[in-house]
A and B are shown apart, each in its own frame.
Chain A
Amino acid sequence: MIHTWAWIGWLISALVALSITRNPLYLFLILLCIALVGWTQERRLSSESSQTQNLLPFSPFKFVLVIITLSALFNAVISHFGETVLFSLPEWLPFLGGPITLEALAFGAINGLVLGGIFAAFTVLNLALPVRSLVRLIPRAYYPVAVITSIAITFIPNATRQFHHIREAQAIRGHRVRGLRGWLPLIMPLLVGGLERALGLAEAMTARGFASSEGGNQTSQTRLGMVLGLLMLFGGWLLRLIEGGQLLGIGLMILGITLIAAMLWSIGRSVPRTNYNQEIWRFRDFLVLIGSMGVISAFLLPIPWIDQSILHYNPYPILNLPGFDPLIGAATMGLLIPIFIIKPK
């Protein structure tokens, strides 16, 4: 197991890289790294289980492909810029009419790559970390929120599987979706079944001694502290926008965050709850974090021998080949470090 915080570091580095670059070569590379880590993780989980069911209720690979395709098509019919015209739609079509260009298609596909990459990174995290590890990141002051989050995370894949069962069951009685009403046989059993399952779970949790009223005791002081902290955070952000107020703004924001953290800690102390399974930080977690820091540094920090202008790419007005700096490419490989730690059993 890799430490939760090491995985969070990995996720942040992937998200930072995805949000900074529009260069399709780097985007492909990031997506490939994420896919390889995900594939290794899925193989490990499959090797643990004798069951044949899929660990995810749908294929993330297909989903990413759909995102990229839809994004490319959507941009192509909405944006008519670019010099390489593939064909034209009639001008009388509102919004859609006009030339369909290769550049607009490419721009849409690049956006799709970013969205697909973000989705893939979260999917990998979901595969890698137990729900409990993620929920432990929520401040103890909001323990009921944490439990609800944990249920929601496990509930969604269950609901998706249930939807597949319903779709199959309706198909075998000759049902085909035609129009909005055609969704009724699929949605109704899902909603009613979901409510029944939710009631069942609520009953089971009551039987196990869980009571939702056990949130932290928020006194008037802690409430006031939270509001003050939020005000400071917002005020600091506003100050930063004013000429000369940047330093004061950052100071105020730090103060706000500190106050909020202190209030959360104070409320959390009144929540009777134990985290029995404390994770141990190991050398391998350090390696994952170093790899992630390397990715963030290469994409974000002004390093003299790295040409970060290459990260920016615009297919307009005419499609051109994106550049590639091998140093950034090598740094991106830092995302692959979990592969060498996750071993199939």
Chain B
Amino acid sequence: MISFQNVSFSYPDSERPAIQNINLEVAPGTLALVIGESGSGKSTLLRCVNGLVPHFSGGSLQGNVRVNGLDPVQATPKVMSRHVGFIFQDPEAQFVVDRVEDEIAFALENFALPAEEIRMRVAEVLDLLSLKALRYRRLETLSGGERQRVAMATALVMRPEVLVLDEPTSQLDPKSAHDVLETLVRLNRTLDLTVLLAEHRIERVLPFADQLIALNVEGNGGISGPPRQVFTQTDITPPVVTLGKELGWQPLPMTVEEGRKFIPDIESRTPKSETIPTPVSHKGEPFLQIHDLEVRYGNQIILDRVNLDLLQGEILVLMGPNGAGKTTLLRTIVGLLQPAKGKVIAGGVDISNKRMDEICRAVGYLPQDPNALLFADSALEELMITLRNHAGKMDAAGEQEADRTARALLERLELINQADDYPRDLSVGQRQRVALGAITVTKPKTLLLDEPTRGLDYGAKQSLAQLLRGWRDEGMAILLVTHDVELAAEVADRAAILKQGKISSCGDPSRVMRSSVRFTPQIARLFPYTDWLTVQDALIGIRQIFS
């Protein structure tokens, strides 16, 4: 169905090719997963399939691409749109009109199909994706998962043979992501649709993937084949595969269910009540205390008497479904929203009625979209601006001191070589760290982070985790809101789950994360009778048992 032969592509004015010597074949009805670090060319590869590269992007393409016998370069994206449905990372960014039904019909109206056929196709796709109830809804009133399903419907209504998706679940909570993937797999199996999908959170998609395409930043051709075979040649692996590789399990397990076949021996030798390993305690005095916090939008209660303490020197991970009130909680803490009841105490001082700039000196808050923060000409200037905002006018000595502080932080953020670069030219992970720098340069005692791993690859997530652990060890109190259960497992000292505006559980991460299957990391599902959460925990635990 899809074939790449010696395909290389360079963007205009780019010194190195985005993809190089790609050779791959994707058979009809295959669900192929594309993995790779940021900048490895995943998006470029996907855009070659429908001709957006090079027609939309410009640049030079070498080699042969064939999709269902067509050459996308010659056929143009207009013709390819009938064969290839393309779904982007942010569904909101691809909507043209404002209502579900109109959005689905837009492309068909554009192709001037008879009204009767449009009606039939729209009804068919609404049924297929269980969107009937949303037919007349405004797009802005839909949840993230619903929007992504509408985006799928807009592509499927063209009855394509191939569906291409660029990180479709990156902005969704685990449940919505699961629903979207389940729909995708159903389409793949029932319609024999060929699916090509790029994703950073591999563990979500791997159970359904027939083929894996791994790209690397060096752009030396990539590897394509059955997942088991490809994973032996790449380091980008989900926890269960990483553990399997470390312990030499053969055949390499791709899912938790496959991994369980290897553990009866370990299970029989693990004392059920024993805690392995003992978590390191960093906990100090409570720095941030939230008492009976209630927030309303009109008559609707968003946060319902929330009580939460954040201790000095700990990372508290807050999880929960979309719309549970996680972002509202963070916005209320920093004074962007006024609570109807309750109070927030930081360092012993009630900050509920303080000015926002006063609060933000003690409490740093990184919002979901780091781009909203960045506007200066360089990464260094971004940090300097925050310092000037808080200090007012600085004399020459003050400027020098601020420069030293900002450079020291950039060093720590591993951005010192990018100090003079324009922030929006940096990678997603680097941009995220510049924004983090702009927030933390005033050395707040508490840091609140809202979904900081959106769009980050494994490497960027690891460096973020390392940074947070470092700050935690220095005594910073960190409240991390995330859907990324694997990152949560890596860094959490405590975990809490917020559901419908209420804290449903809070405490030891191994207990809290096991309380809901949606928030349980792979290792915890693999070893349900231990309190292990990460590959590292499992390796230490297993070595202890067998020593």
Contact = CB atoms under 8 A, between A and B. Distances in A.
Interface of A: 1, 45, 48-53, 55, 130-132, 135, 147, 150-151, 153-154, 157-158, 162, 165-166, 168-176, 184-185, 188-189, 192-193, 196-197, 200-211, 272-278
B112 A276 contact: no
Contact of B81 (A49, A173, A209, A272): A209
B190 interface: no
Given A274-B112, A277-B102, A174 B118 contact: no
B360 A173 contact: yes
Contacts of B439: 172-173
B112 A211 contact: no
B297 interface: yes
Contacts of A51: 140-143, 323
Interface string B332-371: 0010100000000000000000001100110001010101
Contact of B107 (A184, A208, A272): A208
A202 B96 CA distance: 10
Contacts of A273: 109-110, 112
Contact of A130 (B78, B97, B115, B297): B97
Interface core residue of A50, A53, A276 (most chain B CB under 10 Å): A276
Nearest to A171: B356
A48 B110 contact: no
Contacts of B99: 130-132
B389 interface: yes
A168 B336 contact: yes
22 contacts: A48-B137, A48-B138, A49-B142, A131-B98, A132-B97, A153-B98, A169-B367, A172-B439, A173-B438, A174-B389, A174-B442, A175-B389, A200-B93, A202-B56, A206-B77, A208-B158, A209-B158, A210-B107, A272-B111, A274-B108, A276-B105, A278-B115
A173 B386 contact: yes
B141 A48 contact: yes
A174 B390 contact: yes
Interface stretch (B234-242, B372-380, B491-499): B372-380
Given A52-B323, A273-B110, A275-B115, A211 B141 contact: no
Interface centre among B108, B118, B302, B371 (most CB of A within 10 A): B371
Size bracket of the B interface: 35 or more
B424 A150 contact: no
Taking chain A's interface residues, is the majority helix, strand, or loop, or is none over half, making it mixed? helix
A189 B375 contact: yes
A207 B50 contact: yes
A211 B78 contact: yes
B94 interface: yes
Contacts of B371: 189, 192-193, 196
Interface stretch (B82-90, B177-185, B264-272): B82-90
Interface string B436-456: 001100100000000000000
B372 A209 contact: no
Interface in B482-519: none
B109 A275 contact: yes
B374 A189 contact: yes
Nearest to B134: A48
A211 B81 CA distance: 11
B128 interface: no
Contact of A201 (B96, B111, B155): B96
B102 A130 contact: yes
A274 B114 contact: yes
Nearest to A168: B336
B45 to A, nearest CB: 15
B93 A132 contact: no
Contacts of B336: 168, 171-172
Given A184-B375, A273-B110, A45 B141 contact: yes
Nearest to B383: A173
B119 interface: yes
Contacts of A209: 77-78, 81-82, 107, 110-111, 158
Given A52-B300, A150-B96, A205-B96, A176 B373 contact: no
B52 interface: yes
Contacts of B109: 273-276
